[in-house]
Amino acid sequence: MALAFPKSNLTILAPLGAAGLFATWYGLSPVEAFRNGWLAGFIFFVISWSWIGETAGTYIAPFGFLVVMLPALIHGLAFGAAGTLSVIAYARAPRALAPLGAAAAFSLCEHLRSFSFLACPFGNLSYTQVDTPLAPIAAYVGSLGLTFTICVIGAYLAFAFRESRTGADVRVLLTVAGALLLCTALAWLFWPARRLAKPTYPVVAAQGNINQNIKWTEAAFELSLDRYERLTEQAATYDPAFVLWPETVVPTNLNEYPQVQNRLSRLARSTRTELIVGSRQTRDGKVYNALFFFRPDGALDAVYRKRRLVSFAETLPFPGFFGKLPGANYISRYSEGVSTGVIDVGGARIAPLICWESAFEYLAADDLRDGAQAFVIATDDAWFGTTAGPYQHAQIAQMRALETGAWIVRAGATGISGIIAPNGRYVAKSKLNEMTIVHGFIGPRAGTLFSAVGSTPIVIMLAILYGALTARRQST
């Protein structure tokens, strides 16, 4: 399953890996399945999240392995819970329907770990399918529904394997396969993103390629400003409505440096474009990870403050306890923003997301309710070098495009930067570790069923499905 994600991108291993996992749970007790699932989840996350410690791990050497091991242990519990719930489904649901219960259990556990207190919505199976024929399903049922689809395939493959000796009902397997093919075909046929209006709104994402090891040094401050000024002047030849800079690309508290603000205002005026700049902001004694919007006339139009912070990187939960951990002094103490920050830029309603926020579908849903027509994502994936991390994060942005039906412009400090269409495909894309601009056009949003209903009804439906299948012990 881990190899289904970037960089390997062996997408077929998502359902096949799930099949192997479901198959191992047949015949186990709930406790045995929990231990089995927890171990499998731990291994899965250690592999797929190994990139987390690329830079951060060096700060707490020789304890750097904890940066990956501890999250893997915690989130592995979701696999353990899915194992226990699957075993209950195998024992209580009708034999032919038990795989549906197992698929619902895994999907719900994945959802809970993605939005809990220590949430890390990376490693969701659905992300592996953003470039496959299953992708249109996300426009209707989102990431959660797509994970359920993958798990249904895996659970029934496991059913066929485990029941082969006792004679698995071929009609059941053919019915499930037919239903999946029909749903996928209908999703594709009626997918609004198949028929997009021609994009006419010009945009640019700038990628300055400042290495994380020097970013916060005094020498890099002027280097960063000079480099992004040159890229913006280059971008101006395309007459864009806005130029997007990455997260905290101006490595200071920007509001405390009026001379730097004036410099950015002059740049916006001279290039006649909206300039969206990642930096920090201090306000009422608090520090925010922010995006500053400079209008083409040079005025500071708005400031967006990041709403969802990364635990143990941008904020420290329960500092009295966790503050005793090795390297706790390296953890930032940002404050959370409270508003969406949707802003009118050149006649289009643009919604900003900063880095990690792009992994939370409910934030994008809030933006849509506030009238967002397109998204900008500013990120600093330089922390993760050339590991799988930047590729996995760029893949998550594709899922948000599929769910919302909106165009997305993404700027990464060292990559990946690009423009994503409502069908989830990059229409323009940079490579890692290059100084470049990505230019192109975006257009109107293609409405999706998921953007209208959100994930809550899907969570409820899966919970009802699992509850109905396991409500009482069946005789068949």
- Cα of 142 vs its chain's centroid, Å: 12
Residue 372 near residue 349 (C-beta atoms within 8 A): yes
Paired with 409 in beta bridges are 376, 419
How many Å apart are CA 58 and CA 212, to the nearest integer?
13
Q: For residue 59, what pLDDT is reported?
A: 66
Closest CA to 348 of 447, 232, 197, 201: 201
pTM of the full predicted structure? Answer: 0.94
Q: For residue 476, what pLDDT is reported?
A: 46
Q: For residue 12, what pLDDT is reported?
A: 96
Q: For residue 205, what pLDDT is reported?
A: 98
pLDDT digits (tens, 9 = 90+) for 45-85: 999 999 988 777 776 666 677 788 989 999 999 999 999 99
Residue 102 near residue 22 (C-beta atoms within 8 A): yes
Residues of the chain falling short of pLDDT 70:
59-63, 117, 165-168, 318, 320-330, 473-476
In sequence order, which residues have a C-beta less than 8 Å from that of residue 237 and are 6 or more positions away?
none
pLDDT digits (tens, 9 = 90+) for 115-127: 876 788 999 999 9
Q: For residue 63, what pLDDT is reported?
A: 66
Helices (H), 93-217: 98-115, 138-162, 170-189, 212-215
For the chain, how many helices (H) and strands (E)?
Answer: 15, 12
Domains and CATH numbers, the chain: 2-193+454-469 (no CATH), 201-445 (3.60.110.10)
- Cα of 402 vs its chain's centroid, Å: 12
In sequence order, which residues have a C-beta less than 8 Å from that of residue 38 and are 6 or more positions away?
76, 77, 79, 80, 83
The dihedral through the CA atoms of 454, 455, 458, 459 has a sign that is negative
